[in-house]
Structure 1
Amino acid sequence: MGLNHPYTDLRELPEIIPVFPLAGALLLPRGELPLNIFEPRYVTMVDAAIAGERVIGMIQPQSENHGIAHAPELFQVGCAGRITRFAETGDGRYLITLTGLARFRIADELSAGTPYRQFRVSYEGFQADLLPGAGENAVDRESMVSMLRNFAECSKLEVDWASIDAAPTETLVNALAMMCPFGANEKQALIEAIDLKTRAETLIALAKLDLAQRGGDTPQWH
């Protein structure tokens, strides 16, 4: 989905953003992440975002079992997204879609007094995130598609190969990274990959390792 407000410079992005910690959720630039918002504190967060710059930071907690329940320890790198779809359900929930803008590093947490957490963040080093297709030419697309075919065959999944073949390389790599059924550390390795080529190589390596470890078990591909 295209943005009504495209960003061309990291300085256009807000330095202070609300952050939504969600285990297993990965947002990447130009990727789309649908979310079902039902916790009151995050409903309040969406209300504030809609009234402001519509930007929310997605980030993973380091552990679902460690840290304070409402303030878990977080990984240092996440991705800012802009709300590009929004619907009320009539029962207090919001259905939203975040479209990825650029990755960020946490600088410090604010004592904002809001029920959700807010952070000052830095986008330094992620300028290429604003450039559609950056690094596509360096990706070994053939290996990517070969990996996906092996994964699908072992999973007995039906895949729309025509759509795969037609997808731009960046879209393919990032969509697979966002959908992959890996753990938090593996997901974090994908978001922290310095460029698209490294992310593709990391994804291939993780998928091969996953298949080897499963030893013929059916992988869960979401």
Structure 2
Amino acid sequence: MGETRVRLSIFPLAGAILLPRAQLPLHIFEMRYRALVKDAMARDRRIAMIQPREPEEDDNENPPLFEVGCVGKVAEVEALDDGRFNVILEGVSRFRVIRELDVTTPFRQIEGSIEGFGDDIEPDPLSIAMRGGLFDESRKFATALGYAVDWDAVQELDDEALVNMITQVAPFDIASKQALLEAASMEERSEMLIQFMEFFRMHQATGGDDRATLQ
């Protein structure tokens, strides 16, 4: 992906965040996204993940999109007998939407820019204090949600894998997920995660909804 402007086939999916060098498993069952997978496999194996700003409804199959998403490359694909697919995407680079294209394909396509994100460079490691704070808050967060976690295995993750994992699996609202995706650095993303998890725990403790909404 040497070019900065690219034509991308998009998979809009609320709450599903892909990050550079992270993996995202997907179960593809809708006909238009089956077509998307087939097209991607016949061309460059690229699928661009992006969140819609509002839910898809019967009278609006093309809801407006956030401006930033992440291009993934199909790392693994399993074609099921009934036409569905199990896919694992590996994040390559974030992109910014320039414009949506007028296409005849059943899936949406956009022109995007991958310039300015620096996603081809591995981030600097977290400070010891930041790593410790993130790990401690993630344990409190998991306990609040009643999750059983192999913390020894989590401790073995490198900084980027740890941050990416929490970003992808935590049940934050779509605006918070988007803010995490757009964070300028891993350090900034880690700070946001700590704040979001603390907010979520406080929200749960006061009998709030299952999904925290951060403005």
Q: TM-score, normalised by structure 1?
A: 0.88
- In structure 1, what residue type is equivalent to 2:147? L
- Provide the rounded CA distance (Å) in 1 between the counterparts of 2:60 and 2:162: 35
Cα gap change, 1:154 to 1:24, in 2 (>3 Å): same
- Checking the alignment, whether the CA contact within 8 Å between 1:154 and 1:216 is kept in structure 2 is no
Deviation for aligned residue 1:168: 0.3
Deviates more, 1:103-112 or 1:209-218: 209-218
- Structure 2: unaligned runs, 5 residues or longer: none
- Partner secondary structure for residue 137 of structure 1: coil
Q: Secondary structure at the match of 2:20?
A: coil
Q: Summarize deviations over 1:96-144 as a string: whole Å, max 9, x none.
A: 11001110000011112111011110011112x1223x12235710000
Displacement of 1:12: 5.0
Does the CA contact (< 8 Å) of 1:211 and 1:219 recur in 2?
no
Q: Which amino acid aligns with 2:133?
A: S
- Asked if the contact 2:17–2:50 (Cα under 8 Å) also holds between the matched residues in 1, the reply is yes
Partner of 1:144: 134
CA distance 1:101–1:68, change in 2 (3 Å) = farther
SS of 1:104's equivalent in the other structure is strand
1:41-52 → structure 2 map (5 Å cutoff): 41-52=32-43
RMSD of aligned residue pairs (Cα, Å): 2.1
Among 152, 158, 162, the alignment partner of 1:162 is 152
Within 5 A, what are the aligned runs for 1:63-212? 63-64=54-55, 69-127=60-118, 129-132=119-122, 134-138=123-127, 140-212=130-202
Partner Cα distance (2:205, 2:56) in 1: 29
1:67–1:219 Cα change, 3 Å: closer
Question: Does 2:44 match 1:58?
Answer: no
Q: Distance in 2 between matches of 1:155 and 1:141?
A: 21
**Counterpart residue type for residue 126 of structure 1:** F
